[in-house]
Amino acid sequence: MRPARVQLAGAWKPLAHALYKLLYRSKHLSNRALAVLFAGFMVVLLFNSWLAYHSAQVQANANDRIAHTELVLDDLEAIANNLDNAETGQRGYILTGITSYLEPYQSSRANISGRLDALSSDLGNDTSQRTSLAQVNLLVNEKYGEMQQTIDLRRNGQTPQAEQIVLGGSGQQLMDQIRAVLATMRSREETLLHGEERAARASLTELSITFAFAAVVDLALLVIIGWLVYRTLHERERLLAREREAVQMRDQFLSIASHELKTPLTALLTNAQLLERRTEREGQASDASRRSVTTIVRQTHRMRMLIDAMLDISRIASGQLDVERERVDLAALARGVVGEVAASADHHAIAYDGPATPVDVVGDRMRLEEVLLNLLHNAVKYSPEGGAVMLELRNDDRDIYVMVRDKGIGIPAEDVPRLFERFYRATNAQTSRIDGMGIGLSVVRDVVALHGGEVTVESMEGQGTTFTIRMPLAPAVPDEIGAGKPEVASEVRPAVREQAS
């Protein structure tokens, strides 16, 4: 059989190994692991507090019991003193007949029953002591009876008879018996007292050791947790810095790649458009060739828009996106954009619903056009079955509202909160296999924000989506004051509807 010490060492091994792994290997603890460690620390702390409380209780109880035993010892001593005083008084009176000698006897007689009652209550349930007390009671009564008898005889002039009783020794015998019982009781109390004191000292030592051990464990845990928290925070900071660096590199890459791609792509697009026009003009190409050229133009155009969006993103990320600050008639801009998108969307009825008169904002015409194009292209793209797409424009005294509505695939509720995040795409857009990169909306949000506005979305999956842009109106131009606010044309404008169909 292996010796006990070796077995114990074997049991500690996995614990030591786990501690080593925790302290040196795991660089980054999850919030849950930290919470568990902290909870463990709290348990030890609570245990320690309980120990402190318990120790105080144990000490208080021991002190109570010791104080009680001391009271009993006092009672026993007082009873013995009372009897001595009574006997001295009795003898003095019998010898001299002077009544003042009787004073100690009388005061002891008055006190003794109170002392015996006090002893009875201080003894509690100790049966052996209670039996002795009953004996003391009997003997004390007998002793006082004997003393009273001799005093009465002396008072009646029968001095020889009184002396006879005293000299007879019966009183002395009673006194000896009482002393013997009191001595037994005292010795028992003293034994109890010593026992209590010993037990109190032992429990104090035991509690001090346990308390010190728990305090050491607590301190060790505190140091471990502090160390782990420090390392975890340090590690998180390092990861965050790395993440920031990676994002910076990605943005840099995006910016460089987009710049580099833009030049050849522009050349490609220009030449493809030239080719398309030439094919149209010369009319020699087959239908299939014409379709191919159109596809090349459309896809190249799309690619350029994507690259423009990526460039915008990198400019926004580096805070370099400049916006012009000129007066822009948003109503006219919206009508133009609706017309442009309607021209290229065969299966959608794209309409404008808004004022026919100018509604001005202060901003960048090109960027605002990009925003509206983006929302309209999305409305078309995410309504693969075709259907109505509406750009609605309203305004009040302060703001202008542009709503782009479609009846397309909609957006699942759980995706809505993250929709404007860069590169985020709703799950149904991906399952429907609709192409996209999740860039456009983040640009829309940032550009609108640069114009002092905001963009929001309302959607029901499978039923359609409405994006709403709110932007501040341009301040009224002095010579235009009084020209009246733009009127809202509630019906869809025929010119645009024609383009849409």
Q: Please report, as ranges, the residues that interact with ligand ADP according to CB under 6 A.
A: 378-379, 382, 406, 408-411, 419, 425-426, 429, 436-442, 465
Minimum distance, C-beta of residue 430 to ligand ADP, in the bound complex (Å): 7
Which residues have a Cβ under 8 Å from the Cβ of 392 and sit 6 or more positions away?
352, 353, 354, 401, 402, 403, 404, 405
Closer by beta carbon to ligand ADP, 346 or else 396: 346
Torsion sign over Cα 201, 203, 204, 210: positive
Closer by beta carbon to ligand ADP, 182 or else 441: 441
| Distance, C-alpha 178 to centroid of its chain | 73
Closer by beta carbon to ligand ADP, 83 or else 390: 390
Residue whose C-beta lies closest to ligand ADP = 436
The torsion region of residue 453 among left (phi > 0), alpha (psi -120 to 50) and beta comes to beta
Minimum distance, C-beta of residue 294 to ligand ADP, in the bound complex (Å): 22
Minimum distance, C-beta of residue 224 to ligand ADP, in the bound complex (Å): 46
249-250-251-256 Cα dihedral, nearest 10 degrees:
90
Closer by beta carbon to ligand ADP, 179 or else 301: 301
Q: What is the DSSP string of 420-486?
A: TSTT---HHHHHTT----S-HHHHHHHHHHHTT-EEEEEEETTTEEEEEEEEEPPPPPGGGTTS-PP
Minimum distance, C-beta of residue 17 to ligand ADP, in the bound complex (Å): 49
392-to-117, 215, 358 alpha-carbon distances in Å: 103, 72, 14
Closer by beta carbon to ligand ADP, 79 or else 411: 411
Closer by beta carbon to ligand ADP, 333 or else 373: 373
Minimum distance, C-beta of residue 44 to ligand ADP, in the bound complex (Å): 51
CB 470 within 8 A of CB 372: no
Biggest CA–CA distance in the chain, Å, is 171
Q: What is the CA radius of gyration of the chain?
A: 53
Minimum distance, C-beta of residue 257 to ligand ADP, in the bound complex (Å): 17
Residue type present at position 133: L
Closer by beta carbon to ligand ADP, 321 or else 429: 429
Closer by beta carbon to ligand ADP, 354 or else 440: 440
Strand partners, 326: 363
Minimum distance, C-beta of residue 347 to ligand ADP, in the bound complex (Å): 15
Of 356, 367, 364, 355, the C-alpha closest to 395 is: 355
CA distance 310 to 297: 20
Closer by beta carbon to ligand ADP, 408 or else 486: 408
Minimum distance, C-beta of residue 336 to ligand ADP, in the bound complex (Å): 20
Q: What is the DSSP string of 333-399?
A: HHHHHHHHHHHH-SSEEEEEES-SS--EEEE-HHHHHHHHHHHHHHHHHT-TT-EEEEEEEEE-SSE
Minimum distance, C-beta of residue 498 to ligand ADP, in the bound complex (Å): 24
Cβ count within 10 A of residue 165:
16
